[in-house]
Amino acid sequence: MTKKTIKNICCIGAGYVGGPTMAVIAQKCPHINVTVVDINEQRIADWNDADLDKLPVYEPGLAEVVAEARGRNLFFSTDVDKAIAEAEMIFMSVNTPTKTYGVGKGMAADLKFVELCARQIACVAKNDKIVVEKSTLPVRTAQAIRTILDSTGNGVNFQVLSNPEFLAEGTAIKDLHAPDRVLIGGTLDKAGLDAIESLVEVYSNWVPRENIITTRVWSSELSKLTANAFLAQRVSSINAISALCEKTGADVDEVAKAIGMDSRIGAKFLKASVGFGGSCFQKDILNLVYLCRHFNLPEVAEYWQQVVKMNDYQKHRFAKNIIDTLFNTVSGKKIAFLGWAFKKDTNDTRETAAMYVADELLQDRAEIHVYDPKVTAEQIYADLEYLQTHRVGIYVAQGEAMSMEEIKQLVKVHKTPYKAIEQAHAVAVLTEWDEFKTYDWQKIYNNMLKPAFVFDGRNITDKEQLENVGFDVYNIGKGE
């Protein structure tokens, strides 16, 4: 295989990663045709919708990028075979959830979709292809993909690269336009280096070459898991300190500021919260833990597992504090949730702390009234339904499964915050949406039952102001 100039890219998986990443590649490389395919017909229809508000992924700036490139050199399609056949380079961006069955249940990544894609590529390909892993994968998956491609294919040459995605949801377009670094892993023989160079060329249309780093495949795969583990560890570390702050009368935001100004530590990822969520942090750490156990490194496994345990504890601590404060029971009480997404500026709810907190309150038969600016009612019900049979973690594992009927009786979703809050006993802030800061808290107070409580799981409200209005306020990591 000699170095290829890429004219056609195919991406399998039109999700939170595949969609935005390919939209930006198409925007920045008008000379390359980019086709994003997905087995989910509705998703593809939504990506093709003339109304850009209907795009399946909400990301600031995404609609503009899609508007610029769609129909020019960016296409969304369900014809997977055709897109594979035409492309010189194929990105795999399918989901890799934590396994919910069999060996490695609750820990290992489920590679079923990745394997299916590899088999389909092998079956369809009539000429040489570069296959790029975008999905977060356990270390050594590239080797597995390579084995499938080489042993089931039509005798064509495949190169497998690892190109992990570091974009964060809510800032995906910004992160894609100006990434801290682009990481490409490949084999170090001539064919591998040529494939790496083909992908470097794609990115260098807008990313400075010095920000594109190349490594061996396994380093690249492990870097993704490690980056997420380190980021999550910072959040769990500050959340651990938040519990101590509450006992001692310190203020966790002051502590975070003070330590963050040490340039060796740095200011980012030190915001105490109700707990981290998202599709990656927990999954990637559990994956790392699984790998360490597999390689007989129990101490290393335990070290990282503690990051997830601390996160479970933080979510539980928040829910338990609501119950304790509301006189030891929330049964029949109305709790208004501001926010459901796992962070602001996204409609993604995977592993959101909100659903675990809701689940714990529902065990005590609370009534939950949710308002989120971007998450649909269907999604909220689907999350809670899923959780009934997929509880993981040591603090939420004990609960009984509720039927969908019971869930719908107890959980209501509203289109305005004021409706959600009407006659509530307490407001719980679960996501840090900017609009929550602008609310008329006097009006909210007037419409609530007294004593009126605010439990701010994101520390975005002004405690003093709310107390002046008359609220009883609980913040993460703020002692009296």
Minimum separation from the CB atom of position 380 to ligand UDX (A): 16
Position 310 contacts ligand UDX (CB under 6 A):
no
Closest residue to ligand UDX in the complex (CB) = 15
> Scanning residues 37 to 96, which ones bind ligand UDX (CB under 6 A)?
38-40, 43, 93-96
How far is the C-alpha of 241 from the C-alpha of 303, rounded, in Å? 17
Give 81 or 467: the residue with its C-beta nearer to ligand UDX. Answer: 81
The binding track of 212-251 with respect to ligand UDX, each residue x by CB under 6 A or -, is: ----------------x--x---x----------------
**Strand pairing class (129-133; 89-92):** parallel
Position 169 contacts ligand UDX (CB under 6 A):
yes
User: DSSP characters for 420-449?
Assistant: HHTT-SEEEE-S--GGGGGS-HHHHHHTS-
Output phi, psi for 332, to 5 deg: 75, 0
CB 49 within 8 A of CB 70: no
Does a cis peptide bond (omega within 30 degrees of 0) precede residue 451?
Answer: yes
**Amino acid symbol at 108:** A
Which of 17, 130, 142, 460 binds ligand UDX (CB under 6 A)? It is 17
Task: Determine which one of 4, 10, 59, 165 is catalytic.
Answer: 165
Which of 48, 61, 128, 166 binds ligand UDX (CB under 6 A)? It is 166
> Scanning residues 317 to 356, which ones bind ligand UDX (CB under 6 A)?
342-343
The binding track of 179-218 with respect to ligand UDX, each residue x by CB under 6 A or -, is: ----------------------------------------
Which of 11, 12, 69, 452 binds ligand UDX (CB under 6 A)? It is 12
Nearest to 442 by CA among 416, 463, 468: 468
Minimum separation from the CB atom of position 327 to ligand UDX (A): 29
Give 287 or 305: the residue with its C-beta nearer to ligand UDX. Answer: 287
Give the list of residues 6+ apart from residue 294 with CB closer than 8 angstroms, or none: none
Position 477 contacts ligand UDX (CB under 6 A):
no
Q: Is 369 exposed, middle or buried (0-12, 13-18, 19+ CB in 10 A)?
A: buried
- Whether 10 is catalytic is no
Inter-helix orientation angle 217-248/252-260, to 10°: 130
Position 4 contacts ligand UDX (CB under 6 A):
no
**Amino acid symbol at 208:** P
Position 16 contacts ligand UDX (CB under 6 A):
yes
- Whether 299 is catalytic is no
Inter-helix orientation angle 141-152/217-248, to 10°: 150
SS3 77: strand
Give 16 or 471: the residue with its C-beta nearer to ligand UDX. Answer: 16
SS3 192: helix
Q: Which of 8-16, 194-202, 293-301, 369-377 is the region at the interface with ligand UDX (rule: CB under 6 A)?
A: 8-16
The binding track of 408-427 with respect to ligand UDX, each residue x by CB under 6 A or -, is: --------------------
- Whether 292 is catalytic is no
Size of the site for ligand UDX (CB under 6 A): 42
Task: Determine which one of 10, 11, 29, 280 is catalytic.
Answer: 280
User: How long a stretch of residues is the chain?
Assistant: 480
Please report how many Cα atoms fall inside a 13 Å half-sphere around the Cα of residue 224, on the Cβ side. 29
How far is the C-alpha of 142 from the C-alpha of 279, rounded, in Å? 21
CB 77 within 8 A of CB 366: no
Nearest to 79 by CA among 37, 122, 117, 23: 37
> Scanning residues 105 to 164, which ones bind ligand UDX (CB under 6 A)?
113, 116-117, 134-136
Task: Determine which one of 224, 283, 315, 478 is catalytic.
Answer: 224
Minimum separation from the CB atom of position 328 to ligand UDX (A): 28
Give 116 or 144: the residue with its C-beta nearer to ligand UDX. Answer: 116
Q: Where do the DSSP E strands lie in 205-304?
A: 212-216
Residues assigned a catalytic role? 165, 224, 280
Catalog residues that contact ligand UDX under the rule CB under 6 A.
12-18, 38-40, 43, 93-96, 113, 116-117, 134-136, 165-169, 228, 231, 235, 269-271, 273, 276-281, 283, 342-343
